[in-house]
């Protein structure tokens, strides 16, 4: 479902060049939850942003659902991005829009009719457990509730891939647990492939099928979660 082949990313050039990713090969099969773990500055954020081309790799190729992302023109890339949801550490909700209108935003941008938006957003809010919060504003919600809104928004365009950039790092352990449970349900019930990055072992242990370890821009290990955490 997601394939990175020989992906490198360098920020800047000459003396100040930062080699954030070095020859990354990563294969995430359809329907799996794949974790990428590593220290701050290892390149996790750059890696996940290369999947939907928020960052363009300097070298290599990125294939998502059979489409070679770097070969797409602007409009085809926009279409492809509808199939790739993303959630972030700090939720990135629009503070001037209520919960309903945050989730509706991607559908509005796609030009959907109001009636279609209504019938899509309400079930999504139910799925994330926020049906009774549709009229509230982000400032009135807890961190966990904000992330649930962001998840509903990410699912609005019916993606088959969900990218999670430190999605639980701003949450307390209990809330983290409930968000991970929601992500697990989304993977199981909707068959959505999940790529998540985190610096927390517990996140990987609790929901990932496979895990890659990234260090200084290189993938240094790639294993089943069970094998990864087995003592030598
Ligand atoms: P992580 O997500 O693991 O913390 P990042 O991908 O954010 O790692 O960063 C990897 C390296 O690339 C770091 O050295 C970081 O400072 C650098 N970096 C990230 N984004 C940029 C940027 N836009 N410009 C220059 N350097 C960057
Ligand atoms: P996070 O770790 O929460 O993703 P960061 O503070 O690392 O956030 O980065 C925030 C933004 O700044 C990102 O868009 C990233 O690409 C950019 N960035 C990170 N490191 C650098 C850097 N050394 N130089 C320029 N931009 C950077």
pLDDT (0 to 100) of residue 133: 98
**Nearest ligand 1 atom to alpha carbon 55:** 23
Inter-residue contact 141 to 149 (CB < 8 Å): yes
**Nearest ligand 1 atom to alpha carbon 197:** 2
Distance CA 27, CA 88 (A): 22
* C-alpha 189 – ligand 1 centre gap (Å): 34
Q: Residues of the chain whose pLDDT is less than 70?
A: 231-232
Of the residues 45, 47, 55, 92, which should be mutated to test ligand 2's pocket, given the most ligand atoms within 8 Å of the CB?
A: 45
* C-alpha 46 – ligand 1 centre gap (Å): 6
Q: Does ligand 2 have an atom closer than 6 angstroms to the CB of 67?
A: no
Q: Which ligand gives the minimal distance to the CA of 43? A: 1
Distance CA 187, CA 179 (A): 12
pLDDT in tens, 111-129: 999 999 999 999 999 999 9
Distance CA 4, CA 50 (A): 9
Q: Does ligand 2 have an atom closer than 6 angstroms to the CB of 89?
A: yes
Q: Does ligand 2 have an atom closer than 6 angstroms to the CB of 198?
A: no
Distance CA 78, CA 62 (A): 15
**Tokens linked to 40:** 């701050």
* C-alpha 39 – ligand 1 centre gap (Å): 11
pLDDT (0 to 100) of residue 229: 77
> H helices within the chain, ranges in order?
44-51, 74-82, 99-109, 114-127, 143-155, 173-190, 201-207, 225-228
Q: Which residues contact 215 (CB under 8 A, 6 or more apart)?
A: 38, 39, 42
Q: Does ligand 2 have an atom closer than 6 angstroms to the CB of 92?
A: no
Distance CA 152, CA 121 (A): 8
Cα separations in angstroms, 27 against 17, 50, 102, 117: 27, 14, 32, 34
Q: Does ligand 1 have an atom closer than 6 angstroms to the CB of 46?
A: yes
Taking CA atoms only, the protein residue closest to ligand 1 atom 25 is 11
Distance CA 32, CA 188 (A): 9
Taking CA atoms only, the protein residue closest to ligand 2 atom 25 is 11
pLDDT (0 to 100) of residue 228: 82
Per DSSP, the three-state class of 59 is strand
Cα separations in angstroms, 208 against 66, 67, 140, 188, 224: 23, 24, 31, 12, 9
Cα-only R_g, the chain: 18
From the list 65, 89, 61, 53, the residue with the least C-alpha distance to 158 is: 65
């Amino acid at each position: 479902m997601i394939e990175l082949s020989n992906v490198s990313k360098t920020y800047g050039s000459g003396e100040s060049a930062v080699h954030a990713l070095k020859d990354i090969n990563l294969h995430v099969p359809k329907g799996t939850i794949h974790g990428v773990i590593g220290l701050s500055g290892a390149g996790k954020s750059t890696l996940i942003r290369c999947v939907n081309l928020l960052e363009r790799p300097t070298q290599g190729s990125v294939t998502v659902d059979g489409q070679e992302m770097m070969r797409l023109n602007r409009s085809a890339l926009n279409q492809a991005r509808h199939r790739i949801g993303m959630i972030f550490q700090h939720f990135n909700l629009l503070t001037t829009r209520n919960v309903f209108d945050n989730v509706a935003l991607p559908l509005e941008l796609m030009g959907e009719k109001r009636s279609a938006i209504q019938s899509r957003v309400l079930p999504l809010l139910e799925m994330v457990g926020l049906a009774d919060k549709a009229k509230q504003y982000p400032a009135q919600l807890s961190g966990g509730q904000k992330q649930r809104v962001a998840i509903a928004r990410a699912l609005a365009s019916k993606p088959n891939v969900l990218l999670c950039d430190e999605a639980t790092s701003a949450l307390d352990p209990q809330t983290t647990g409930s968000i991970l449970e929601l992500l697990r349900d989304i993977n199981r019930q909707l068959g959505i492939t999940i790529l998540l990055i985190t610096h927390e072992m517990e996140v990987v242990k609790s929901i990932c099928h496979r895990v890659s370890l990234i260090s200084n821009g290189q993938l240094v290990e790639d294993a089943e979660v069970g094998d990864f955490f087995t003592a030598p």
